[in-house]
A and B are shown apart, each in its own frame.
Chain A
């Protein structure tokens, strides 16, 4: 082989020429290939410029929604009832998380997250905008924050975020009336303005928080931010500030609310205290209550079960949902109706043997006082002593139609329209109602029970308070309202006139109601002893179970939950009424218990720190 090659002589000149040819070819090749590369860059940088420019900006710039600061809620003396405090949440940005399932299961192990929370998170994820943070866990403990901080570098797309969350400094004191905010649920998501709630995770669920949701929430803001590949914000390019929600200044009064709540002392019941002049609600107590703070970050199923399963129904808002027989508290108004329609005069007297009988009826309608109040009793005394027989007679003479019409104008049988949630309307029965619901005619005997606020008649404590305000105002009904000022805008009360009753009739009833607390035979006399101002009112005890004909009522033998409800409605000061209060205590048996609660609430309004009457000033 080598021999064969050596026969050829190397020719350096030919080789140089050969190289030159190849070099020229190589240069041509270089130029052509460079042109190909050049055209590729032309394609990217000229023809695809717009597309990549947009993509680069999308990489760089992200729109972030900014949650507006929720409006604060104050009581009438400027004390905070609902505020926003800072808390740490764990958020994920879907686009930054390489493996969502793996990241979630790691976090679940790390922080002991419920499956429910994971499910909620996946639901929230569905309405996420690109590169938006979605919260996984709220209100992390110090311990959890530390755990996340240690591991965060191995968890791309996971971040800790400071957020403002709702806090209720008075906890269960205002549980029902302020309500609470909670995480937006699936149903709410369907009806919400999703743009405005893009950065908002909670929404008012009950009470003032729900009723004034749109005012409290405010308007969402936006910012364009430049982020790096891990989603960290490097700078804010431009920003549209969110508009904070409006602050609410309520009529509610921490002192009066607390007085009512503490006076109830855990018993089941309700206190509603209303301003006679403007309808403002100073206290709306429902006992037992709950702490709204439990719900803000999602209540644990254990806590919720405890509330839901309690026999005392703490989640039940007795002030608005509790429909009770108003019992004898209706007597002043029934009496007023009698005077107004001329059915009775101030001097009309009725015999009271302790029972009442309708003509051609063998049934006995008993007075709560077995032996009767007096041989003959007048309207004033019947109110003071709460005589049933007088009102059986009066109701029978008035008839259901007049009673219904008169009581309806004082707001019985329909919701007051208070600015709180889940209000019920009670029941003011009528012929039409009975025909419609039971397809039966109205029987005269049924009217008798209405005369003493029993039978079909039901009213909420809110309705009782509003009716008492109308009574104190000599016929002017005012819609109860928790809100006084929205931001700096003061709200005007909504008033409605009831019947134009002669002033003399009002005076008679008012004076009888004063004697309920001050008269020698007044039913609230003992409980009102020592008051430093005049309080007018009317007691009531509502039967919870029907007493069969001829059966003796024996409270000792009745189970605790079958005992009578104690009621009281009242206003003060009697000559120039400022405050009206309605109290219901379930199964408290003695109306004096309700009087004491009403008195505690009034004291909180009228007395100074030394227990002296402050006088009447608004």
Chain B
């Protein structure tokens, strides 16, 4: 069996009628992915209702964000994948310029400078970079001979890390991690040699102390320190972690029941409707709820990677893989930090945490996946 045949034989939905398939194709929708996303959206809104102290207004506002995000996804899905490829270097340069602009003229709060105001419109360029990054790195690598050679690896790293450093300077560690992850996973899917991966691992190990002493801000260091000993600062920086661990642990296997989570209802859990929302889910639905959510996420991730497998071009494959793995990093960093095994870096739980901006970029990412998925389907007929 040739590689081409192998690719073509990757089934999406076995025995689906060509009529139905063509309808989804015309709409540029991947039905399996859409179904999973809708289930996740429903779960997210339900948990948010409890986490926000049963505020219907909050849920309604989030539903509006979802509507916008789904529309954005639908819109992006209509864009021709090749056109994305051709435009991505220009968009990347614009994105980079915006990031520099943020550092010079950005606005924000709490010592961070993340927003850019143009006219009456206010947005976070770093968010857009999450979307641009996989496209730009994939654009660069798609034209190279793969697996990439050292020179190409170095250039891709530059593409991935320059914006990441700019974002880190804002400072926004969470987004910097997500943006660089998108670029790095692109490299990984392009066949980055395992030797390089091992070398990067070693580099990372040596970089940590340098970061600690020369790069990291005081508040970032504190976050890391309290990770290892939250009790050392019970009422200060450790408070969040202790309260979220208490929320999770007290949920037990079966949970306290929907709307019965005392930790968030009584406001012991900070950020309960944003970054720490998984604690609410874990408290109210227990370990079973956590497993269910992980399973849902796993299905979405596998679906994304499989879309990459059946993608028609290297560019599309790399983009699909990188977007999927960025989504994975979201999940790991969030669930890890809330449960106290990773430092608190301000990454939301995708599609569950409240918040409009990251929701829209996430869904636009899924829009790209759908564009890839339906493009491949079109060619296969």
Interface residues of A (CB under 8 A from B): 1, 5, 8-10, 12-20, 22-23, 26-27, 30-31, 33-34, 36-38, 40-42, 44-46, 48-49, 51-53, 55-57, 59-60, 98, 226-230, 234
Q: Is the CB of A20 within 8 A of B309?
A: yes
User: 17 A-B contacts, Cβ less than 8 Å apart?
Assistant: A19-B321, A23-B321, A26-B324, A26-B328, A27-B302, A31-B298, A33-B332, A38-B291, A44-B245, A44-B339, A45-B249, A45-B286, A49-B250, A52-B246, A56-B247, A59-B262, A228-B266
Interface of A is mostly: helix
Is B174 positioned at the interface, with any CB of A under 8 Å from its CB? no
Do the beta carbons of B290 and A38 come within 8 Å of each other? yes
Question: A residues within 8 A CB of B297?
Answer: 34
A476 to chain B, nearest CB (A): 68
**A17-B3, A37-B332, A52-B246 are contacts. A45–B282 as well, Cβ < 8 Å?**
yes
Instruction: Report the separation of the CA atoms of residues A228 and B53 in the bound assembly, to the nearest whole angstrom.
Output: 12
Task: Report how far A41 CA is from B244 CA in the complex, Å.
Answer: 12
| Structural contact, A55 and B302, CB atoms closer than 8 A | no
The CA of A30 and the CA of B301, in the complex, are separated in Å by: 8
Please, how many angstroms separate the alpha-carbon atoms of A45 and B4 in the complex?
47
Look across to chain A and name the residue whose beta carbon is closest to the beta carbon of B310.
Answer: A16
Is B246 in contact with A59, judged by CB distance below 8 angstroms? Answer: yes
* Contact present for B267 and A228 (CB under 8 Å): yes
Of B35-43, B68-76, B145-153, B199-207, which stretch is located at the interface?
Answer: B145-153
Contact A23 B308, beta carbon cutoff 8 Å:
yes
Chain A residues, Cβ within 8 Å of B314: 10, 12, 15-16, 19
- Among B7, B246, B252, B298, the most chain A Cβ lie within 10 Å of the Cβ of B246
- The answer to whether A52 and B146 have CB atoms under 8 Å apart is no
Chain B residues within 8 Å of A16, by CB: 3-4, 6-7, 309, 314, 317
Indicate if the CB atoms of B146 and A23 lie closer than 8 Å. no
Task: Tell which of B145, B262, B263, B324 touches A8, judged by Cβ atoms closer than 8 Å.
Answer: B145
* Interfacial residues of chain B within 332-346, with CB under 8 A of chain A in the complex: 332, 335-336, 339-341
> With A23-B321, A53-B249 as given contacts, are A45 and B287 in contact (CB-CB < 8 Å)?
yes
Task: Please tell me if the beta carbons of B252 and A18 are within 8 angstroms of each other in the complex.
Answer: no
**B278-298 with Cβ < 8 A to chain A:** 282-283, 286-287, 290-291, 294, 297-298
B325 at interface by CB-CB < 8 Å: yes
Q: How far, in Å, is A17 (CB) from chain B's closest CB?
A: 5
- Whether the pair B268, A38 counts as a contact (CB closer than 8 A) is no
Asked if A52 and B308 sit within 8 Å, CB to CB, the answer is: no
| Number of B interface residues in the complex (CB < 8 A) | 62
| Contact (Cβ within 8 A) B290 A5 | no
- Check A19/B317 contact, CB under 8 A, given A10-B145, A41-B287: yes
User: B308–A229 contact, CB under 8 A?
Assistant: no
CB contacts (< 8 Å) of A227 on chain B: these are: 266
Q: Are A98 and B145 in contact (CB under 8 A)?
A: no
Which of B306, B340, B341 gathers the greatest number of chain A CB atoms within 10 Å?
B341
CB distance from A433 to the nearest CB of B (A): 67
**Known contacts A1-B151, A52-B246, A30 near B328 by CB under 8 Å:** yes
Contact A37 B263 (CB under 8 A): no
Give the CA-CA distance A40 to B247 in the complex, in Å.
14
Contact in complex: A37, B249 (CB < 8 Å): no
Whether B305 contacts A23 by the Cβ 8 Å rule is yes
Contact of A18 among B191, B243, B245, B282 (CB under 8 A): B191
Check B168 for interface membership: any CB of A closer than 8 A.
no
Can you name 10 extra interface pairs (CB under 8 A) apart from A5-B149, A15-B146, A40-B341?
A15-B314, A16-B314, A23-B308, A44-B245, A46-B253, A49-B249, A51-B249, A56-B246, A56-B247, A59-B266
Which A-B residue pairs are the 7 nearest by beta carbons? A52-B249, A13-B3, A56-B250, A44-B249, A8-B145, A228-B266, A229-B267
B140 interface contact, C-beta 8 A: no
Contact B309 A23 (CB under 8 A): yes
Question: Please, which residues of chain A bring their CB within 8 A of the CB of B4?
Answer: 13, 16
Interface check B144, CB cutoff 8 A: yes
**B141 → chain A closest CB, angstroms:** 10
Contact at A41–B290, with CB atoms within 8 Å?
A: yes
Asked whether A59 lies within 8 Å of B263 as measured between CB atoms, the reply is yes
